[in-house]
Amino acid sequence: EADIYQTPRYLVIGTGKKITLECSQTMGHDKMYWYQQDPGMELHLIHYSYGVNSTEKGDLSSESTVSRIRTEHFPLTLESARPSHTSQYLCASSKGYGYTFGSGTRLTVV
């Protein structure tokens, strides 16, 4: 059973709102990742972190930001949501032997 949790599971929000997607893991993993995935499409890495106070942008340009103040917590923030941000956001963590994914947050911006 995966010990990585994402909240909320579903979110419908209006354009211009600020949102934070939560991701927490209890496995003590140093490495954490955020992916964006549209239905039926491939995974796109948008942010990653190799430890506390370490964050990097991924391969897909994103208007979101992340922080890593605690090992177990890796939240993603959108300052001003737009319909183009509608997607599924997946958080993952790793200690070097593959990734464990959370259940994801399905975001709809109206």
In the complex, the residues that contact other proteins under the rule CB under 8 A are 31, 33, 39, 41-43, 45, 48, 90, 94, 96-104
- Amino acid sitting at position 5: Y
Minimum distance from residue 7 beta carbon to other proteins (Å): 14
Rank residues 67 and 88 by Cβ distance to other proteins and give the closer one. 88
Minimum distance from residue 42 beta carbon to other proteins (Å): 4
**Cα torsion 102, 36, 70, 54: sign:** positive
Rank residues 7 and 100 by Cβ distance to other proteins and give the closer one. 100
Rank residues 32 and 81 by Cβ distance to other proteins and give the closer one. 32
- Amino acid sitting at position 2: A
Rank residues 42 and 84 by Cβ distance to other proteins and give the closer one. 42
CB 89 within 8 A of CB 11: no
Minimum distance from residue 16 beta carbon to other proteins (Å): 27
Peptide bond into 8 cis (omega under 30): yes
What does the DSSP assignment read for 37-72?
A: E-TTS--EEEEEEEETTEEEE-SS--S-EE--SBTT
